Structure 1
């Protein structure tokens, strides 16, 4: 059961309306890393959690995220308060009202359809979706995802702070940003309170594969560091060593029933390519400068190349 306290968790003081800023801040209302997504992520995790300590933690933070949703929504509402009144009362001239509505950039949908109030959309007008909730039901996996979510939200708030000079808005955003830090700390403590929290899940990894670092991107820019070198890693620079990793031949195979074998053979025969065929194609027939070599030089490919080369030299 929930009870609502009409006082905000943090006082919102907006200096003046600013629809453009509102269209940016609404990202944290209905966006992928916003407060509603966080609240729903943690609530759903809490409902399925079997550990009483983690369940309590998740419910606490989920409920606080709803209070943050209220703070963000209040900021958006205050920033849009002027245009909300103007569009509702039609008290401005048509041209001035059009300018006011479009001043918000991506928020014109918000202003037109939602009357300037906070809507469950992101800064580009995309509606909120439950796809933002990426819980997997494993505490070590979900806590890591929560840590990453809090980190992303912190960065978004930081960027929002950098694009406004409204002192009241800056102050409220700073509070919200800092609470993301506190939540990350709590989630990290919860994660490392689980003994043997890595790798996620129950099944252990296969040691030969878990210890291998495969240097698949080679050439200029190769770097050595603790992520790929040292006693923790069996580094593989010769890719032939791991092609394939197992003792097989590296090809895909399947055991087919006899009726499937016959159908596969028929399909292969019907769709077989003739490596000796080199007939003129549509690309050959329509070849012009820059088309490259064509199947039949009589089609003019060589001539076109010569003409294109000559034109390039004249330039």
Structure 2
């Protein structure tokens, strides 16, 4: 059961309305790394979690994320207070009102459709989607994803802090940003409290491939470090060793039933290409400047298609006539 306390988790003090800033703040309301996405991610994970400790942790943080959604939503509402009132009462003339709504940039929809209230959209007006919830139902996967999500949200809050000089907003955003740090710490503790948490899942990796590093991008800028060299790695610089790395012939195969094999053979015969043919195509007929080399001319559009000799055409007609008489 949920109960709502009318006091915010953190006091919001906005010095003056600023619709453009409100638009940018929408990223943390209905965006991919926003508070709603975080709350839904942790709620769904918590409801499915079997471990009582992790379940409690996830539901605690999920509920707190809803309180953060309320804080950021309140900031947006205060920043839009002026435009909301003017749109509602129409006290300004058309030009002034148009200019005010235009100041919201990409979120004119927010002003016109939602009346300046916080909507479940990001800063570009893209609606929130459950696709932002990337849970997989495996704690060692989801906890790592949660750590990354909190880190991403922390960076977004940093950028929002950097674009405002409103002291009250900076203060509230600083609180929200710091809670992302705290949640990262909690999720890391929960992850490392699971014995043998790497690699994720139950099945072990194939040993002979687990410590191979393939230097697949070679040239200027190649570097070595503990991520690709040293005792923990079997480094491959000769790329011919990876083609294929399993020692097979590198082809794709499937064993078909006799029925499927017969049909596959028929299909291959029907669709076979004749490399001796060089037909005139639509690209040749419609070629213009810049088409490159075509049958109409070296660079396209310069010459007519060469016509077949009259003698050959006459011979062809005789051949057709003979075949027709034989058929009769």
With the shorter chain as reference, the TM-score category is over 0.9
* Alignment deviations for residues 3-31 of structure 1 (CA, whole Å, 9 cap, x no partner): 11111111100000000000000110011
Q: Find out whether 1:206 has 2:226 as its counterpart.
A: no
Q: 1:114 is paired with a residue of what secondary structure?
A: coil
**CA–CA separation in structure 2 for the residues paired with 1:237 and 1:285:** 49
Cα distance change of structure 1 residues 213 and 107 upon mapping to structure 2, 3 Å threshold: same
**CA–CA separation in structure 2 for the residues paired with 1:300 and 1:286:** 12
Structure 2 gaps of 5+ residues are 303-328
* Alignment deviations for residues 28-73 of structure 1 (CA, whole Å, 9 cap, x no partner): 0011100010011111111111111111111111111011000000
User: How far did 1:125 drift?
Assistant: 0.8
User: Which position in structure 1 is the counterpart of 2:14?
Assistant: 14
User: How far did 1:289 drift?
Assistant: 4.1
* Alignment deviations for residues 160-179 of structure 1 (CA, whole Å, 9 cap, x no partner): 11111111111111111111
**CA–CA separation in structure 2 for the residues paired with 1:250 and 1:59:** 48
User: Which position in structure 2 is the counterpart of 1:313?
Assistant: none
Asked if 2 retains the 8 angstrom alpha-carbon contact of 1:42 and 1:61, the reply is yes
**CA–CA separation in structure 2 for the residues paired with 1:47 and 1:274:** 61
* Alignment deviations for residues 88-127 of structure 1 (CA, whole Å, 9 cap, x no partner): 1111111211111121012211111111111111111111
User: Which position in structure 2 is the counterpart of 1:116?
Assistant: 116
Cα distance change of structure 1 residues 26 and 174 upon mapping to structure 2, 3 Å threshold: same
User: Which position in structure 2 is the counterpart of 1:54?
Assistant: 54
Asked if 1 retains the 8 angstrom alpha-carbon contact of 2:39 and 2:65, the reply is yes
User: How far did 1:81 drift?
Assistant: 0.5
User: Which position in structure 2 is the counterpart of 1:285?
Assistant: 285
* Alignment deviations for residues 115-163 of structure 1 (CA, whole Å, 9 cap, x no partner): 1111111111111111111111111100000000000000000001111
- TM-score norm. by structure 1 comes to 0.92
User: Which position in structure 1 is the counterpart of 2:321?
Assistant: none
Map 1:257-272 onto structure 2 (within 5 A). Answer: 257-272=257-272
Cα distance change of structure 1 residues 114 and 223 upon mapping to structure 2, 3 Å threshold: same
Q: Find out whether 1:300 has 2:297 as its counterpart.
A: yes
User: Which position in structure 2 is the counterpart of 1:34?
Assistant: 34
Map 1:211-250 onto structure 2 (within 5 A). Answer: 211-250=211-250
Asked if 1 retains the 8 angstrom alpha-carbon contact of 2:42 and 2:59, the reply is yes
**CA–CA separation in structure 1 for the residues paired with 2:167 and 2:56:** 35
Q: Which moved more, 1:70-79 or 1:82-91?
A: 82-91
Q: Find out whether 1:91 has 2:91 as its counterpart.
A: yes
* Alignment deviations for residues 181-230 of structure 1 (CA, whole Å, 9 cap, x no partner): 11111111111111111000000001111111111111222111111111
User: Which position in structure 1 is the counterpart of 2:78?
Assistant: 78
Asked if 1 retains the 8 angstrom alpha-carbon contact of 2:87 and 2:115, the reply is yes
- TM-score norm. by structure 2 comes to 0.89
Query: What RMSD, in angstroms, separates the aligned Cα atoms of the two structures?
Result: 1.5
**CA–CA separation in structure 1 for the residues paired with 2:75 and 2:242:** 55
Aligned pair count reads 302
**CA–CA separation in structure 1 for the residues paired with 2:301 and 2:220:** 38
Q: Find out whether 1:103 has 2:103 as its counterpart.
A: yes
Cα distance change of structure 1 residues 75 and 303 upon mapping to structure 2, 3 Å threshold: closer
